[in-house]
Amino acid sequence: GQSLEQPSEVTAVEGAIVQINCTYQTSGFYGLSWYQQHDGGAPTFLSYNALDGLEETGRFSSFLSRSDSYGYLLLQELQMKDSASYFCAVFSGNTGKLIFGQGTTLQVKP
């Protein structure tokens, strides 16, 4: 089967750096995505990794290691508005299946 694991909660202070890990088990792995969701809102796309390495988009970076079935989302210079839930999701092959993790709630404190 397919499964993803990520921490349920992370707390950090404004201005700090936080890393949210995601490990996965899946057949036919194709790529790993990250989404942000504020309370009551729709998920919004942050990043997508299909190849090993680091992808950087502003304050957010995402990393993938296919050999370790592991990825992470790195948030730098944390701001209060970054308080939200973050989901990793794996995409398998050329099917339309997308499996989400259970989400990590990030609380940013002043």
The residues of the shown chain that bind another protein, judged by CB under 8 A, are 30-31, 33, 35, 41-45, 48, 50, 87, 89, 91, 94-103
Residue 81 C-beta: closest distance to another protein, Å? 19
Q: Quote the least distance from Cβ 17 to another protein, whole Å.
A: 25
Report helix, strand and coil shares of the chain as percent, to nearest 5. 5, 60, 35
Q: How far is the CB of 43 from another protein (least distance, A)?
A: 5
Residues contacting 40, CB < 8 A, separation 6+? none
Minimum distance of another protein from residue 84's CB (angstroms): 14
Nearer CB in complex with another protein: 36/82: 36
Closest to another protein by CB, 72 or 91: 91
Contacts of 96 (CB under 8 A, 6+ apart): none
Length of the chain: 110
Q: 83 and 39 in contact (C-beta within 8 Å)?
A: no
Beta bridge mates, 74 = 19, 61
Provide the token pair at 109: 């404190």
